[in-house]
Structure 1
Amino acid sequence: MTPDGRLIRVDELREWDGPGELVVFLGVRTAGSRSHETFSGWAAALGRPDWTLRGLDLPLNAPDAAYAELVAAVAANPRVAGAVVTSHKLRLHRAGATLFRRTDVLAGLTREVNTLARATDGVDAHARDPLALTAVLRGFDGAGHADVVVYGAGGAGTALLLALTLDVGATLASGSLVRAAGRGPRSITVLDTDEDAVAALRATARRCGVLDGRLRLLAAGDPAAPFPLPDGALVVNATGLGKDRPGSPLPPGTVLPPGATAWDVNYRGDLTFLADARAQGATAVDGWDYFVAGWGAALTAIAGVPFTDDMLAGLAAAAAAHRPGTLPS
């Protein structure tokens, strides 16, 4: 194991032998996550008190072989229960697609993986973020905003698009697309500086049948971006800015409109996006509920138990004492 007792290397997974079963946390800088403090409570709530969490850090430019080695190591060691993936979701799907025993319908639609669950004869791949965001939106006023503006076309932005447009639970249960009942947002705009990310999200929207008139996907340099944000919009930071990297995705001079809600999918870091939003008088919401729901959706898949509202409430209660303090001002 690495000098930091919270971390493990890929080459150590095959030999890991306790205590209990291991859950891997794949990210970029995992040691700073509150999951290390909350995990024992979550494991107990899931009926898996013998689970141990270890972070596995890979750079964003890691070679495909590193992801393939991870999948192979999880498959080879019966003491490894699975992995929760907070970064590398698209790369893991691309590099490991031929190695998975089974891939759920959401992973097939998004072409990303945020959970690996070990089975007796291989590794199953899941994309559970849309399920987590659906749960968060049920208890969050942002679900009722007529206009949604999302900065970031990566994993979180893709999952949010599905949560806003699909009946995610029914899609998972049936194994086929089920559109969300009801009206939903009037408009959804997603912006990203990476043209490839926007193209990938457009392909996902096409596979999901939601590439329609209410959806705008804008890359840097698009003549329609930047644009005036609609009054009362839900404005989402679905990037790593303010967490993994300093800054905010809002272009310089952006004015948040009256009644806007600024929602950052991150809960740690400098959270510049939320500080700017509060300075402009907007409602600021951090990513703690998404953090809990995202881990809950992933860990229930690994444990093989349903992700219910009661389970989520139990996981939230187990983590509550570790919630960070007030938002930055």
Structure 2
Amino acid sequence: MTHDGRVIAPEDLATWSDGGRRLVAFVGVDTSGSRIHQEFPAWAARLGRPEWVLRGVDLPTTTPAATYRDLVDAIAANPQIAGAVVTSHKLRLYRAAAARLRSIDAFAELTLEVNALARRDDGVGGGVVDGFARDPLALAAVVHRLDPAGRDVVVYGAGGAGTALLLALTLDESRRPRTITVIDSDDGALAAFRATADRCGLLDDRLHLLAAGDGDSDSATTRIPEHALVVNATGLGKDRPGSPLPPGTVLPASATAWDFNYRGDLTFLADARAQGATAVDGWDYFVAGWAAALTAIAGVPFTAGMLPD
């Protein structure tokens, strides 16, 4: 465990114990600086789980598949663990350890990722782990504040967060954007995104998938439409420094730039402000994401009442 007690090693999960308290693991890349450590006791109390305690589990983005499987096995084996909230490893953990999960929810079946793991007793003295993909619900709970209906939406990042946003934007047909353009430099991520959109019946002329760096995407990027909602779903600005906006990108003053990050250098938002666009950080998404994940672990419904005004 680190000197401040916020982070534990993954190999310590199987034997973790703290005098009757129950652990919620926070699986990320660099978890000790997250504000959730200050906010978590209030969340636990609101859920009626005052015995819950949060500890980060830091894993690099190059973590081998076996480590994810060991993590799920450790949660199942230790009755002192309530579950885990997964941030930067949603897709990789699912791909590595899906066979270790007793069940997954409908969104996990569509997106092939998980952002919450809940330990349940198996009835014969052991434990099992269920997986949930709650990000689409979390994003749907907050994206309406940005009024995306009828707007052009440009999303940088075709990973788990970008995929969840696609579902959130299309849950209510009457409030769908005019177009959704998704840009990524990883052909594999774009292929996986396309496959998810196909499974969801969302491959139509309103959805455009572009590879960053080719002529089409460069042209689309430098011609951001008026009133567009432009989203950074890449992790740049938090997990790694920088912004996904290519040099020369012009954001109209009528555009809204939404960064899924709330901490880090937030270069994307600085670029937006410099051009007069509205800049919105990821705090509301962060809060909604944790509320959705923790309710899954607690086994209670995720409702608007779980979110602050």
Both structures adopt the same fold (TM-score exceeding 0.5) = yes
**Amino acid of the structure 2 residue aligned with 1:124:** D
Equivalent residues of 1:261, 1:285 under 8 A apart: yes
Match for residue 287 of structure 2? 292
Match for residue 6 of structure 1? 6
Q: Percent identity?
A: 68
**Amino acid of the structure 2 residue aligned with 1:27:** G
1:70-81 to structure 2, matched below 5 A, reads: 70-81=71-82
2:193 paired with 1:201? yes
Match for residue 274 of structure 1? 269
Which range is displaced more, 14-23 or 282-291?
14-23
Match for residue 131 of structure 2? 125
Q: What 5-or-longer segments of structure 2 have no aligned partner?
A: 123-127
Cα offsets for 1:117-145 (capped at 9, x unmatched): 0111210000000000000123x124335
Out of 164, 170, 189, the position equivalent to 1:159 is 164
Q: Distance in 2 between matches of 1:303 and 1:50?
A: 12
1:1-329 to structure 2, matched below 5 A, reads: 1-19=1-19, 20-121=21-122, 122-138=128-144, 140-144=145-149, 146-166=151-171, 180-226=172-218, 227=220, 228-313=223-308
**Amino acid of the structure 2 residue aligned with 1:104:** D
**Amino acid of the structure 1 residue aligned with 2:140:** T
Q: 1:221 to 1:276 in 2, by over 3 A?
A: closer
Per the TM alignment, residue 195 of structure 1 is displaced from its structure 2 partner at its CA by 1.1
Secondary structure at 1:144's aligned position in 2?
coil
Q: Distance in 1 between matches of 2:52 and 2:34?
A: 17
Per the TM alignment, residue 312 of structure 1 is displaced from its structure 2 partner at its CA by 1.9
Equivalent residues of 1:145, 1:233 under 8 A apart: no
Q: Distance in 2 between matches of 1:183 and 1:145?
A: 7
Equivalent residues of 1:24, 1:54 under 8 A apart: yes
Q: After TM superposition, which residue ranges in structure 1, 4 or more long, deviate above 4 angstroms?
A: none
Match for residue 125 of structure 2? none
TM-score (norm 1): 0.89
Q: Distance in 1 between matches of 2:148 and 2:78?
A: 41
Q: Distance in 2 between matches of 1:28 and 1:184?
A: 33
Q: Distance in 2 between matches of 1:142 and 1:216?
A: 20
Cα offsets for 1:216-246 (capped at 9, x unmatched): 0111243311111111100001111111111
Cα offsets for 1:8-40 (capped at 9, x unmatched): 111111111124100000000011110111111
Q: Distance in 2 between matches of 1:220 and 1:262?
A: 18
Total equivalences in the alignment: 300
**Amino acid of the structure 2 residue aligned with 1:60:** T
Equivalent residues of 1:89, 1:114 under 8 A apart: yes
Equivalent residues of 1:152, 1:191 under 8 A apart: yes
Secondary structure at 2:148's aligned position in 1?
helix
Q: Distance in 2 between matches of 1:29 and 1:128?
A: 21
Q: What 5-or-longer segments of structure 1 have no aligned partner?
A: 167-179, 317-329
Q: Distance in 1 between matches of 2:102 and 2:299?
A: 16
Secondary structure at 1:118's aligned position in 2?
strand
Per the TM alignment, residue 4 of structure 1 is displaced from its structure 2 partner at its CA by 4.1
Secondary structure at 1:217's aligned position in 2?
strand
Per the TM alignment, residue 183 of structure 1 is displaced from its structure 2 partner at its CA by 4.9
Per the TM alignment, residue 181 of structure 1 is displaced from its structure 2 partner at its CA by 3.1
Equivalent residues of 1:248, 1:273 under 8 A apart: yes
TM-score (norm 2): 0.95
Per the TM alignment, residue 184 of structure 1 is displaced from its structure 2 partner at its CA by 1.0
Equivalent residues of 1:142, 1:261 under 8 A apart: no
Cα offsets for 1:300-320 (capped at 9, x unmatched): 00011111111223xx7xxxx
Cα offsets for 1:171-219 (capped at 9, x unmatched): xxxxxxxxx3315111000001111111110110001100110000111
